Structure 1
Amino acid sequence: MENKLKWFPGHFSKGMRQKVMIMCAFLVHPPLYIVDEPFVGLDPIGIQSFLDLMLEMKKAGAGVLMSTHILSTAEQYCDRFVILHEGRIIMKGTVAELREQVGKSQATLHDIYIEATQGECV
């Protein structure tokens, strides 16, 4: 980003604007970060940088509330989950608790979401 310091933000790509917003959010140290679809517009390096920052904030004691459709990443980095469908909470808990709710001990978060939103768990 240093090589872009003299650029006018209006000339930034969507991914670059997303990186700037993330950097601004992490300048302060609130007890809770709320992030909505943080990976949209980011390249793989930007995504990894965001995830590394998120882990640092968690280690420092901050909470992170994240909405995302990238379930494999959420499963890897998040502790608890709330699954929404048609504007309603249909499941919540840790991955282990969600697996128990669907009765599948090896299910991924993606598997759980598909099963839950197809009406089998509602």
Structure 2
Amino acid sequence: MKGVITVVLLILSNIFMTLAWYGHLQWRENSWLKHAGLLTIILFSWGLALLEYFFQVPANKIGFKENGGPFSFFELKTIQEAISLITFTLFLIFIVKNEKLAWNHIVGFLLILLAVYVIFKKW
């Protein structure tokens, strides 16, 4: 159960992270951020990043093996990176919509999945 909670919290964290880091690039066309200066964008993104941390820190705390969770440091980071890439890709496909998923992206994703397998494989 701690593993599931960890993954769900990491997914929520990555949604806010993606919005904080890249959302303002899309929103500039469709919102009040269109006229916002750099400092406003930074502060707005910082607020979103704070929400990210409300999910990221508990995810790591709950999921870490030495706190009774199922994951090592390497496994936590690998899960986070895989979720981050998936979240970012979904953001590009469904929100940005002007980026195309190409064959090299798919190959790269498959290599990342291979990395996840290698990290989690008990040798």
* TM-score, scaled to structure 2: 0.26
* TM-score, scaled to structure 1: 0.26
From the two aligned structures, give the one with the greater strand fraction. 1
